[in-house]
């Protein structure tokens, strides 16, 4: 089926709510929302996904027509996003804010991932073993490195306050860098290991402050400043450069 411009029209008449739009290289998600009064369309910068939200009474044919009418806008938005950087041999990626080169070295799988410092060149992350498995192995290692750094930072902030986090988890979350549950469990994005260390430390301090103040009021920010005096620079770094961290990951776009 083609639309008036001669292009293949997007058909949402099936029960599928999430499909891959191969012609524009993005995932399409269709969401029904009880509070929606009209069709809306947005492009997620972090997940490179096209999201159509529609009222409960709206059918999928109408949503498909709506998307087709705005497909040029969608293409323009996707084209404006930074290119995805997959975990592959010779690719460049940051680690703790420092540019590194990924090197899939092959060989035996018994060797651990290591960092090789090269004079006058970017340090390399050496990933041994089967090269077809190397991207996932690198991803697991980054999760572990993020967990190690975050546990250390959380403990450095909770100890002076006589606090203790119930649990510290590292996930592939795209909507926030960290979160704190009402039970005292902290959750963080693994991508913080890509940012400079002072940024990761700020996010840890931010969530530790939520163990006392479950809001973003004046007392919360006063506590954040007390335990992380330079938090403003880290907060600004995340606002400006944080979205760029979502460029990096396995070629299929999902992590862990």
Average pLDDT of the segment spanning 162-180: 94
Selection from 121, 22, 1, 117 nearest residue 64 by Cα: 1
Selection from 147, 182, 153, 149 nearest residue 168 by Cα: 147
Q: Is 19 helix (H, G, I), strand (E, B) or coil?
A: strand
Average pLDDT of the segment spanning 15-27: 61
Average pLDDT of the segment spanning 23-28: 75
Whole-number pLDDT of residue 10: 56
Residue 82: pLDDT over 90: no
Question: At 19, is the pLDDT very low, low, confident or very high (cuts 50, 70, 90)?
Answer: low
| SS3 readout for 114-162 | EEECCCCCCCEEEEECCCCCHHHHHHHHHHHHHHHHHHHHHHHHHCCCC
Q: What is the mean pLDDT of the chain?
A: 87
Q: What domains can you pick out in the chain, each with its CATH number?
A: 18-80 (no CATH), 86-249 (3.30.2010.10)
Q: What is the DSSP letter of 196?
A: -
Residue 256: pLDDT over 60: no
28-75, pLDDT tens digit by residue? 888 888 888 888 998 877 777 888 898 988 888 888 888 888 888 888
Residue 155: pLDDT over 90: yes
Whole-number pLDDT of residue 79: 80
Q: Report the run of H or E that residue 105 belongs to, with start and end.
A: strand 98-106
Whole-number pLDDT of residue 209: 98
């Amino acid at each position: 089926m083609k639309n008036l411009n001669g292009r293949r029209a997007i058909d949402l008449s099936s029960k599928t709510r999430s499909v891959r739009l191969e012609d524009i290289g993005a995932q399409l998600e269709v969401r029904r929302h009880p509070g929606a009064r009209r069709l809306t369309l947005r492009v997620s910068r972090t997940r490179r996904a096209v999201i159509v939200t529609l009222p409960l009474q709206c059918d999928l044919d109408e949503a498909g027509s709506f998307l087709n009418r705005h497909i040029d806008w969608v293409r323009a938005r996707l084209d404006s996003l930074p290119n995805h950087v997959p975990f592959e041999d010779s690719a460049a990626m940051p680690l703790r804010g420092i540019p590194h080169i990924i090197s899939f070295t092959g060989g035996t799988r018994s060797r651990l991932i290591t960092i090789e410092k090269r004079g006058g060149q970017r340090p390399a992350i050496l990933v041994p073993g089967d090269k077809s498995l190397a991207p996932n192995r690198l991803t697991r290692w980054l999760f572990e490195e993020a967990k190690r750094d975050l546990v250390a930072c959380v403990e450095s902030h909770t100890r002076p306050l006589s606090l203790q986090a119930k649990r510290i988890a590292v996930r592939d979350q795209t909507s926030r860098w960290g979160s704190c549950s009402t039970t005292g469990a902290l959750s963080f994005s693994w991508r913080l290991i890509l940012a400079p260390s002072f940024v990761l430390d700020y996010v840890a301090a931010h969530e530790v402050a939520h163990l006392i103040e479950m809001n973003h009021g004046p007392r919360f920010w006063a506590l954040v400043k007390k335990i992380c005096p330079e938090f403003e620079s880290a907060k600004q770094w995340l606002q400006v450069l944080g979205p760029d961290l979502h460029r990096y990951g396995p070629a299929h776009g999902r992590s862990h």
